[in-house]
Amino acid sequence: MAKATNQPAIPDESITNKIFLVRDKKVMLDEDLAELYGVTTGNLNKAVKRNLSRFPDDFMFQLTKEEFDILLFQIGISRWGGRRTPPYAFTEQGSVIL
């Protein structure tokens, strides 16, 4: 018999709203995945960098500054106090590897 957990289920809409189309691939950004997994973005990226061989280009890539600027404009995120580098984008396969 499966043991019940006390963690609330994540609504589908909160995940689907964080999926973006970049380079003709559906991706989620590192900060959204970190939130989903309950870790900081910095710690998620450190873990990824320690295991880069598991993340080929079709699983993960870093957005260019131009791609990031377009995405910021589309989703209306303020740049005040934001990131110093563009985020990493993870495809569905990359998200599973995390």
Per residue in 4-52, pLDDT (tens digit) is 555 556 666 778 888 999 999 999 999 999 999 999 999 999 999 999 8
Q: How many domains does the chain have?
A: 1
Per residue in 39-48, pLDDT (tens digit) is 999 999 999 9
Residue 90 · residue 28 · CB < 8 Å: yes
Where do we find the tokens 């995405």?
71
In-domain check, residue 28: yes
In-domain check, residue 71: yes
**Full domain range(s) for residue 67:** 12-97
In-domain check, residue 6: no
State the pTM of this model: 0.77
Per residue in 60-74, pLDDT (tens digit) is 999 999 998 888 777
In-domain check, residue 7: no
Q: How far apart are CA 28 and CA 60, in angstroms?
A: 10
In-domain check, residue 63: yes
In-domain check, residue 86: yes
Q: How far apart are CA 39 and CA 48, in angstroms?
A: 13
CATH number at residue 63: 3.10.260
